[in-house]
A and B are shown apart, each in its own frame.
Chain A
Amino acid sequence: MSIGVDSLLGYNIGMIKVLGLIEAGFPTSASEELIDTMSLDEFLLENREASYLLKVKGDSMKDAGILEGDLVIVERGKEARVGDIVVAEVDGDYTLKYLRRDKDGLYLEPANDKYKPIHPKEELQVIAVLRAVVRKYR
């Protein structure tokens, strides 16, 4: 199933037919499985007014299945829980990492052994919580 990224930017998106479930490596004949229609917007956005798009750069979250070039949809104004993937502000830049806690308090953890956890010098500023990842093929 290919997903138009343009549609996520809010243009051109219409109702998209759900073609049934697709198991990895085992494509089913979808034509008879027509369930209903759904809007990708509605599926991906829980709180539309608080949602924002970002494009992923680098591979610091690769083990969480978030790769360079992916589009992520994040939501502001939602309380972040430990274990969430969050957008946080570090030295005037935004970064996407796991939110973790140890005895010293909250810190950020990448999903790639190549990178070290980030322990904030001051209070950790969580800007938004990750809601969806969109990857386009071909």
Chain B
Amino acid sequence: MRDAVLHIDGDSFFASCETSLNPRLLGKPVVTGKERGIASSMSKEAKALGVTRGMPVFKIKEHFPQVVILSSDYSVYETFAQRMFAIVRRYTDHVEEYSIDECFALLRGSEEEMSRTVREIKSSLQSELGMTFSLGLAHTKVLAKLASSKNKPDGLTILNSSTSQVDTFLEDVDVGKVWGIGPATAGELRGYGIRTALDLKSREERWVRESLGKHTREIWYELNSERVFPIESGEGDSPKSIQATRTFTPPTSSANALLSELSKNTENASVKMRRENLFAKKIYFFLKTQDFRYKRYEVVLDKPLYAPSELFSHIERAFSHVYDPRLLYRATGVTLAGLTPSDQVQEDLFGDSTRSKVWLDILKTVDSIDRRYGSHTLTLASSMEAYKRRGGAVHKRLCIPYMGEIS
């Protein structure tokens, strides 16, 4: 094994951030989510009592009066998350910030070196952030995610490349616990007599190709130590994807405002793409909710595109799939992927649409104007609202958490 995927998961993350800053909470059952009326995170002591995620606060008060119930402080959690990612980046550039309390990282080296690195990362995270983390190292994302969930909390599980060790591990894992397999798929797999992750892994490739959908097939490869899901770190020599995101304040649930932000994201990503003379075959976009959930969507294009207006029209059409007017959103982002150099894009692409060709000239002019008069001199009308909105008030600089008074 020359490289491996590390998955890191903050244990009871929100509750742990609170405890890290307030020693009086140490060893106590702590629950966050008071402001929403349901538990969003539970300390291990609260879990031991029987408090579960989503449990209504009034019920917790009724049944477990000893529980400390706190309002969520997302800016503190975000600070801890940024610290977690920064600490992992000391060891590798290839870090994918998967969610507020989770990340993937790609490590390189001998098994011995990687195992030492994993232990160092765990120890730095825990001593510097004052909470525990569960880590899993394996050959693929799916295996690493299973490994980190193995001995939660404070777990460390390394699956080396030997088949027998992986098999023994997968034998005890219910197939429904595998990352990416939802209840419906799990039910379907049980119908085939597949109960454990090992049952799925051991199926013949031919049967898998004939019987399973694309996504479950990809998971089968990952269980068999064949990497399908890449670490999306945005690092690398030639970009495989280009991303533009922005966090704005205050959060909004307005569809117009969000579309305008996405339009601006698209323009920003498209500028970077044009600099490299690339076309995109895929668009990913996301809305990030006030409580840090990501709603993602993927659009596969029939033909490679580069013009922001054309790219954005696809996002506009798919927007309703991710947008929920009842939620507040704090950030949007657009990733352009499947990037292809323009000289590899076939000529006949322009055959059906002279508009695309016209855009080449228009954008050349736009870029030269922006170079002369500063970026965003000329923008899409659909981005206007985003330029007007106050925002960008979120600084790159890391904040220092305040731990209260000391005597």
Contacts and interface: CB of A to CB of B under 8 A. Distances in A.
Contact of B402 (A45, A47, A48, A54): A54
Interface string A28-67: 0000000000000100010111111111111010000000
Contacts, number: 84
A56 B128 contact: no
B129 to A, nearest CB: 7
Interface in B120-165: 124, 127-130
Contacts of A76: 127-130
B83 interface: yes
Interface string A4-38: 00001111010000000000000000000000000
A49 B128 contact: yes
A54 B406 contact: yes
Contacts of A54: 402-406
B300 interface: no
Contact of A73 (B26, B128, B400): B400
The prevalent SS among residues of B at the interface is mixed
A13 B397 CA distance: 9
Contacts of B255: none
Interface string B199-225: 000000000000000000000000000
Nearest to B22: A94
B406 A52 contact: no
B349 interface: no
Interface in B9-31: 21, 23-24, 26
Contacts of B24: 92-93
Contacts of A95: 406-407
B360 interface: no
Interface in B59-116: 83, 86-87
Nearest to A58: B407
A87 interface: yes
A77 B405 contact: no
A110 to B, nearest CB: 10
B128 A10 contact: no
A93 B24 CA distance: 6
Contacts of A41: 397
Given A13-B397, A50-B128, A77-B127, A94 B87 contact: no
25 contacts: A9-B400, A10-B400, A11-B399, A13-B397, A47-B128, A50-B83, A50-B127, A52-B401, A52-B402, A52-B403, A53-B401, A54-B403, A55-B402, A73-B400, A76-B127, A77-B127, A77-B128, A87-B406, A89-B26, A93-B23, A94-B403, A94-B404, A95-B406, A96-B406, A127-B23
Interface of B: 21, 23-24, 26, 83, 86-87, 124, 127-130, 395, 397-407
Given A11-B399, A50-B83, 13 more contacts: A49-B83, A49-B398, A50-B127, A52-B400, A52-B403, A53-B402, A54-B404, A55-B404, A58-B407, A93-B24, A94-B403, A94-B404, A95-B406
